[in-house]
Structure formats: C-alpha cells, structure tokens
Amino acid sequence: MSAHAARVQGPSTHRATPARTASAAPLAPCASTSWSARYCRKHCILRRIGRQWATGTAGGSGSGGSDEAAGTAEPAAPSGAVDEKALLQQALESGSDDEVAQQLSRLQHRFPTNPHYLLAAARLAARRGAAAAARPLFQRAAQVAAGQRDASVALQAWGMFESDQGRRQEARQLLQRAVAADARHAGAHNALGRLAESAGQLAAAAAHFQAAIAAEPKHAPSLQALALLEAKRGRLAKAQRLFGAAVQACPSNAQLYQAWALMEWRQGNYGAAKRLFLEGEEECLPHAPLLAGHAKMEAQRRNIAAARRLYRKALQVDPGHPQSILGLGQLEARSGNTDAAMQLYLRGLQAQPRNMHLLSSLAHLHVQLGDQQAARGVWRRLVEVEPANGHACYALGSLDQQEGLLEAAELWYRRGCSATDAKSALLCYEGLAELLAFQGKEPAARSVFQRGSELPRVTARYWRQWATFEKRCGDLERSAALFCKASQADPRDDRTWLQWGLLERRRKRPDAALRCFAQGTKASPRNPYLWQASRVYGVLLFQQGKVAEARTVLCQGVGHNPGNPQLCMEWALAEQAAGNLEDALAIFEQGAAAPEPHAPLFAAYAQLAEQLGRKELAADVRQQLEKMQGALPWVAD
C-alpha cells in the first residue's frame, strides 16, 4: 500500500507547520532557511493575495491602470525578443470580455501564424455563447498550427468545443486527428477518453486514459480520470490504489487530492475524505477549488461554521472564484443571512453576468424573500442565455403551477426535458410527472418517470421522488426498490435513508428500517430531521431488546441536538417502559432544561416523579407546566 493510501485509513502524521500553529502571527520573510521552499512559496502567494484582497485589486484588470487604458493600449512587449506567451497572458488579464476580445484581435493581426491567439479568441466566443463565431476561429487555429504539438492542441480544443455543442461524431473525428497529429499528446488521448466515458463506453474510456498515461506518466488529469472511472465501475479498492499512485507521482497537485476526497465522500467515507482534504491543503499551494470542495462537504454535513471558514479562505486565495462565491452565498441564504447572500451573488454576477448557477441562486433568493416577480425576471434572463436551461424551465413551470396555470407549467416542464444537462433535465421530468399525478393521470406520470430514468447519471433525488410517488399510489414494494436505487446513486443522501426507513417501518420490517436509520445517521450525523427519526430508530431497538444499542443511538441524537426536548422525551419513555425509572427521570430532567420547553415532556416528567414518590419534584414540574400552559393559551387544559 502506498504511503498516501495508508493515510486515508489512518490519521495524518504530518508535523504542524507554523501556518497551522500560529496563523495569527505575521509572516516571516521567505529568506528564512528554516522553512521549506514550498512553504515559502505558499506564503509569499498568500501575502500577495492578502494585499490584493485588502486593496480590492484582485481579480481586476491585472494592470493596475484604468479600464480605459486597459481597453485601448497595445499589449506591451518585453524588452528584447517578443514573448508571445507573455502577450497572451497580458491580453487574457486585460479586463472585461470585450477588452480581452479586442486585445486578442490585435494579437491575431500582429502574429497571424500563432494558433494560440486564435484558440483563446475561440474559447472566449464559445464561453459567451457565440458558437457560430467560435467554430471558424477553431478551424483557422488548426490550419495555421505548424508543429505537431500545436496542431494536436488546436484539434483537441476544437473537438472539445464540438462535444460541448452535442456534435459527438464531429468531436470524435477531430480528437482522433489530434492523436494522429501527435501521439505523445496526453491531452488528446484524455479528451477521447472523456468522450467515450460520457457515451457509457467505459472500457474504451479506460483504454484512452491508459494511452494518455503511457504518453505522459505524470499526466494528472488522466491519472485522476482513470481512478474515478474504476470507482464508477464499482472497483473502489483499485480506484484508491490508482489515486495513491497518482498523488505519489504528482504530490503537489491539488486537483488529485480534491478528486480523491470527493470520491471517498460520495462513498460515505467522511473521515477519509476529510483527511485527504486536509492533506491536500498541507501539501499543495493555496488552491481555491480544493478549499471550496472541502467547504461544500462540511456544509452538507451541517458543519456550518467550518464550511463558512473554508469558503472565506478560498476567496482569500481567489477573490473571484465562482464556486466559492456561489457556495458561500447559498450557505448564507440557508442560514437566513439574505443580505450577505445577495451581495455575494451580485458580486459574482458583476464578473460573470451569464453564470447560470449564480443567476439560478439569485432567483431562488428572490423566492426566499417572497419576491416572485423578481425571481421570474431572473429565470427569464437565464432562458435568454440558454433557451432549454432545465433549472430555469423547472422554476418557471413551478411558479406557473403555483398560480394555477397548469398548461403553461406543463409547457415549461416539457421544454426543460430537452436540456443537455441531465441533472436539470431530470428536474423537469420530475416536475412534469408530479404535475400529471396532481391531475390524477397516474399512468402518464409513471411513464414520464420511466423516460427520465433512461437518462445518464440519474440522481438520488429523482429515484427518491419516484419512490415517493409509488408510495402514494400504494405500491410499497416498488417504492422500496426505487429507494434502494436512490441509495446506490448517492449513499450520502440522508433524506433517502430517512424516507426509506419510514417506509420499511410501515411495511412492518423493523430490521430493514433499523439498517436505513443507521446508514442515515452515519451519512449526516448533524441532520436534525434525521435525528427526529432516530426517536423511532431508538425505540425500535428498545422493542427488540437491544438496550445498549438503543441508548447509544438516542444519546447520540441528544448530543447532536441538545436543544431538542422531543428526543429526550422519547428516550426517557423508552427507559421507563424498560423499567429503568431512575435513568428515565434523569433524562426527563435533561429535556426539561432545553431552551424551548415541551409541554408533553413536563407532563410525563411530573407523572414519573409522582410514581417514584418525589412529591416536591412532581409539584415543581407541574407548576412549570401550568406556567407554560398559561403562556400558551392554545394548549388544552
């Protein structure tokens, strides 16, 4: 086993660095001979980023001059020979998309045989949605490329563009030409592998990734892709070995640590995932996507403070990182900090006004604030950017459905079913099926669910919604089978385990229900709704005579939700039913101290105190109950 693979199974043995033990101290000069070169580079970058963040220049034009100057000045050549690569970098950092396009146009006229300026302009046009303008630029880049590697790079970029446009056959032909132009170009092999994988041709994809690694043994994207492919094929141990070898070959590659950690997290291995994120943050230079990935995982675990800290750290590394802006904005919105969320979304959209994820989140925030008209306006902006955007079509359909415009809603859902993004298309299939079910058209709804399930990469949510539909229709066996598919699609989806467990309890299958609740609490130990179900879980264990296990479950539930008196009451009642009266009394006492008093708990507490002969305690608890009922006039006498 590699050293890195071993670290996944046990705690990291890295020594603490000054950055971790004294993060508040001023940074020492990088000339210090006691620090490693990697550590010095890391903190020099942090110092520079800190200055940019403080002055508000990070993510700007990069030149420090005015916007007007950035848009009109000719790129400055270095002294001596012209450095065409430096000129390209200056152009890409010159300001807005329009300014970048102007600079690239000048460079194309100045250096007509350099394909990289054409490729940069083509990628910019593609990103802005101008496919018709991008295609001839890619074609010209391939024509003017002189060397084998330049020709292969141009053809690869063109092929990936055609793939994004849904022209798979054209993409495959271009990528095959890229490999033929330079068989040692790992990127071209990798692109063919990704194309094959997206078509479900996993064996062919593996062969392409292996060819890329043979061409370039340390090609990190192909090492990563091959490992993830093995995980997709259910070969987790092999995937872990491949990742271990990959990080040994490329120990400072943050993307590898991120991909490996996310793979472990998708399998429900939170401890391994967290160790990998921390190790990547220790081994690599500051990397915003790595920090954002870690933050997203912690947010899903309801570790809100940790997630917020990691997102903010990512934005210190890269103030314009869209995933961090989006993630932190969503976190603040869910926490009720709507002003902070609004500022983050607007900040992100200033830099990327066509970013569909930011637009979508902004629309959801308007819904959260009760401004349906503003939300509808943002969704329509999204449809203007991408006419078949599944997220926008689903949202507009939902708004029309809420207003009783069922025919209009159905049109939006059907339009979104043709989205190229499978995840958003599934939302529209789900919305259409639920709409048909609402209209009493159950066979049609089931048919829609079936058609959606034929898309690639069906989400846990989709299987779960279909399972819930079948449960409402009374087909509990089919519902359970669909919940099983949902758990396979995402073993970390706590809502699947919760709903499946409740279904199995309804089916009188307590052992199956216990397994579901156990998996759910493992996947998301801080989910309060799941721990509400742990009341059922714990009581089931008590009923089966598994007293020690039941106490462990209920104790964990109370520990994760100390302000939830219902959990304490269920635990106390279970102990009382088992004859453990003193234990039950102590647990009632703990529940009575919760910030929000729960009248049924006080009533049961007083009754047990009376039963045990604790008359003063019983009288005191009843007095508290009477005060509580007096403050809540709707509580029955």
d(CA 637, CA 632): 11
d(CA 131, CA 607): 74
Number of domains into which the chain is organized: 3
d(CA 458, CA 377): 29
Q: Identify which of 270, 274, 269 has the alpha carbon closest to the alpha carbon of residue 257.
A: 274
Q: 263-289, pLDDT tens digit by residue?
A: 998 887 888 999 999 999 999 999 999
CATH of the domain at 361: 1.25.40.10
Cβ burial, residue 296 (10 Å; 0-12/13-18/19+): buried
Q: Is the dihedral of CA 586, 589, 594, 597 positive or negative?
A: positive
Cβ burial, residue 630 (10 Å; 0-12/13-18/19+): exposed
In-domain check, residue 113: no
Residue 84 has a CB neighbour count (10 Å cut-off) of 15
In-domain check, residue 18: no
Helix axes of 97-110 and 84-92: crossing angle, nearest 10 degrees:
160
Last-in-domain residue among 365, 385, 405: 385
In-domain check, residue 421: yes
The arithmetic mean of pLDDT across residues 507-511, rounded, is: 84
pLDDT on residue 562? 63
Q: What average pLDDT does the structure give for the chain?
A: 81
In-domain check, residue 609: yes
Residues 401 and 378 both lie in one domain: no
Token readout for 417 is 């079913």
d(CA 189, CA 151): 14
The arithmetic mean of pLDDT across residues 152-162, rounded, is: 93
Last-in-domain residue among 385, 411, 438: 385
Token readout for 266 is 């998708």
Residues 402 and 379 both lie in one domain: no
For 286, the 3-state DSSP assignment is: coil
Residues 339 and 405 both lie in one domain: no
pLDDT on residue 351? 83
Residues 400 and 378 both lie in one domain: no
Q: Are 380 and 399 in contact (CB under 8 A)?
A: no
Q: What percent of the chain has pLDDT over 90?
A: 44
The highest-confidence range among 101-105, 482-486, 554-558, by mean pLDDT, is: 482-486
Last-in-domain residue among 436, 458, 480: 458
Q: Are 633 and 617 in contact (CB under 8 A)?
A: no
In-domain check, residue 599: yes
Q: Are 342 and 367 in contact (CB under 8 A)?
A: no
Residues 394 and 363 both lie in one domain: no
pLDDT on residue 4? 44
Q: Are 93 and 63 in contact (CB under 8 A)?
A: yes
In-domain check, residue 310: yes
Residues 372 and 392 both lie in one domain: no
Higher pLDDT, residue 336 or 44: 336
Q: 187-244, pLDDT tens digit by residue?
A: 999 999 999 988 888 899 999 999 999 999 999 999 999 999 988 887 889 999 999 9
Least confident of 104-113, 319-328, 541-550: 541-550
Kindly tell me if the per-residue pLDDT of 11 is higher than 60.
Answer: no
Residues 556 and 636 both lie in one domain: yes
Residues 297 and 369 both lie in one domain: yes
Residue 298's domain comprises 286-385
pLDDT on residue 450? 96
In-domain check, residue 337: yes
Residues 399 and 378 both lie in one domain: no
Provide the CA 17 distance to its chain's centre, in angstroms. Answer: 29
pLDDT on residue 498? 85
Residues 390 and 335 both lie in one domain: no
Residues 350 and 391 both lie in one domain: no
Q: 78-128, pLDDT tens digit by residue?
A: 333 457 888 888 878 777 777 888 888 888 888 888 899 899 999 888 877
Token readout for 188 is 């071209």
- Per the document, the length of the chain is 637
Residues 379 and 393 both lie in one domain: no
In-domain check, residue 483: no
Token readout for 481 is 């089978």
Q: Are 108 and 117 in contact (CB under 8 A)?
A: yes
Kindly tell me if the per-residue pLDDT of 60 is higher than 70.
Answer: no
Q: 435-471, pLDDT tens digit by residue?
A: 999 999 999 999 999 999 998 789 999 999 999 999 9
